Amino acid sequence: MDITAVDSCKREKEENSTEDKFIEDKVTEETADRVTANGCGEDVPKSHARNDGIPVSKIRNANSRTIFGNATLACQFLRGYTGFPFFSDIKPEDIEDVTEHYRAFLGVEFEADTVKKVSVRLEGREQEVYVISLIEHKSNVDYDIAMQLLRYMTVIWYDYKKSRNSVQENASSRKSFRYPLIIPIVYYEGSEKWTADMRLSDRIQCSELALAYVPDFTYRVVSLHDYSNRELERHKDEMSLLMMFNRVQSAMDYAEFMSTSGEFIDRIYQNMPEDIKDIYKDVIWSLLIKMNVPADKAQKMMKQLEESSMGVLFENMKFDIQQEWQKTREAEQQAREAEQQAREAEQQAQEAEQRAREAEQQAQEAEQQAREAEQQTREAKQQAREAEQQTREAEQQAQEAKQQAREAEQKAQNYLLAAAAALRKRCLSREQIIKELQELCGITEDEAARTADRLP
C-alpha cells in the first residue's frame, strides 16, 4: 500500500517578505558557498552580511526541503501533527522519495516541492492514499492555496490512472476502478492566523447555486504557531525540536525558546542520527543569521556545537545577542512611538480636513444666503418699481377722471343754462323757471335757482 506525501515549498520568487523587525532578511551570496569551519569537520556558510545578499526566506526554504526530504523527520511529522490515525504506525523505511517523477509533470515552477510515497496498511488491506503537504513560510496567507492543491491532486490522479492502465489495459474504464484517496495538508509557519478559504468551492463564483456540480474538497492546516514550545516538547522527537527552531521569528519567540530545558535539547540532539544532525546544523546556522549574529561568532558557536552540547550553545547564544535584543526593543519602541505619532498626525489631519469641510460648507451656505438675499432685493426693487408705476398710472387715471368730471359738470351746467334760457324765451318768471328746471332736470331748488341767476 502506497501513500504519497507532497511536501511543497512556497514559490521562492514570492517569499522575500519581512517576518518581524527582529529578523534581518538578507545575507551575502557567499552564504551559498560552503567551507569547513575551524577544523570542526562540518560545512558552514563562510560569511554573511546585512545587505546585498540572499533573503533568509530562501535559506529557510532550503532547510524545509531538507527537513521534509528526510524520511525520519517526515515520518515524525505525519505521525505527530497531521491527526490521521492510519499514520500512527508508519516507519521511516515506509517512505520513498519520488520527487523527480512528479516534477516531470509539474515543471520548473514546482521544482522546490517534494513528493513522498508512504506504505501503510488500512483496515487490514493494502490501499493507496496520497497526502499533499504544502509548506507556506510567508506571514501573508496565499488565498489560492486550494487551487494549487487541486493541481497537485489532478496530477497525482492522472499519473495513477496512467500507471494502472499500463499494467492492465483500460483499467480506469472498468466499473470497479477507483482513484486513490488524497488528503491535502498545508504546513504553515506564518505568525498570522490562517484566513484562506478552507474549501475549493469557496473559490468558485456562484458555486452555491450548483454545489452538486462543483468539484470540492477541504484541506488540513498544520499551523506552527498553534503549538506552544511546551506542546512540541511533549512529542520528544527531532521534528518537534526543529519546529521549535522554526517558531523563532522574533525576539519574543527566542525568549520563549530559551525557556526550553537545555537537558531536553541535549537529549534529543545527542540521540539523533548523523544525517539529522547535519540538518540541525543548517537550521541552527539559519537561526543565527536571522538573529544577526556576526559571522565569526556564528562559526565559533557552530564549532562549540561539536565540542560541547546544544544546550550550552544556546545559553552562550543568549549572552551573545543580549545587545541585539536591546537594539531590537529600542527599535520596536521607536517604531511604536513613530506609529503613534503618525496616528495622531493622521487624526489631526482628519480633524483639520473636517474643519475645512465644515468651513467650506458654511461659506457655501453663506454664499447661498447672500445670493438669495440679493435675489430678494432685486425682486423687492422690481415690486417697488411696479408699485410706483401703478401709482403713476392711478394718478394719471385720477387726473383724467377729474378732467372728465369737470367736463361733464360743465356740460351739465351748459345744458341747464340752455334749458333755463329756453324757458325765459317763453316769458316765464324766475320762480316758474326754477320750478320747471326742477321738474325737467331733476335738480334741487338751490341748483335750479343758481342756474336761473346765471342767466344774462
* Residues 164-176: tens digit of each pLDDT: 999 999 999 999 9
Parent domain of 375: 344-453
Mean of pLDDT values over 326-353? 86
**Cell for 42?**
562540518
Q: Burial, 202: exposed, middle or buried (Cβ in 10 Å; 0-12, 13-18, 19+)?
A: middle
Residue 387 and residue 245 in one domain: no
Residue 189 and residue 77 in one domain: yes
Positive or negative, the Cα torsion across 71, 96, 109, 155? Answer: negative
Spatial separation of the C-alpha atoms in residues 84 and 218, rounded to whole Å:
15
Residue 133 and residue 9 in one domain: yes
Looking at every residue in the chain, the average pLDDT score rounds to: 77
- CA 31 to each of CA 17, 26, 27, 279, 349: distance values in angstroms, whole numbers, following the listed order: 19, 10, 7, 16, 47
Number of domains forming the structure of the chain: 2
Residue with the bigger pLDDT between 169 and 448: it is 169
Residue 411 and residue 288 in one domain: no
Mean of pLDDT values over 270-282? 85
Q: Which of left, alpha, beta for 34 (phi over 0: left; psi -120 to 50: alpha)? A: beta
pLDDT at 124 over 70: yes
What does the pLDDT read at residue 201? Answer: 95
∠ Cα 284 287 290 (to 5°): 155
Dmax (CA) for the chain in angstroms is: 175
Confidence of residue 14 (pLDDT cuts 50, 70, 90): very low
Residue 203 and residue 85 in one domain: yes
pLDDT at 139 over 80: no
Residue 301 and residue 353 in one domain: no
Q: Which of 302, 318, 334 is the last residue of a domain?
A: 318
What does the pLDDT read at residue 136? Answer: 65
* Residue 50, amino acid: R
pLDDT at 277 over 70: yes
Confidence of residue 427 (pLDDT cuts 50, 70, 90): confident
Mean of pLDDT values over 269-280? 85
SS3 state of residue 46:
coil
What does the pLDDT read at residue 357? Answer: 93
* Residue 432: other Cβ atoms inside 10 A: 14
pLDDT at 25 over 50: no
Residue 140 and residue 194 in one domain: yes
Q: Burial, 173: exposed, middle or buried (Cβ in 10 Å; 0-12, 13-18, 19+)?
A: exposed
Using only C-alpha atoms, the chain has a radius of gyration, in whole angstroms, of 53
Confidence of residue 319 (pLDDT cuts 50, 70, 90): very low
What does the pLDDT read at residue 43? Answer: 39
Best mean pLDDT range from 16-30, 163-177, 224-238: 163-177
Residue 298 and residue 348 in one domain: no
Mean of pLDDT values over 203-222? 93
Secondary structure letter of residue 180 according to DSSP? P
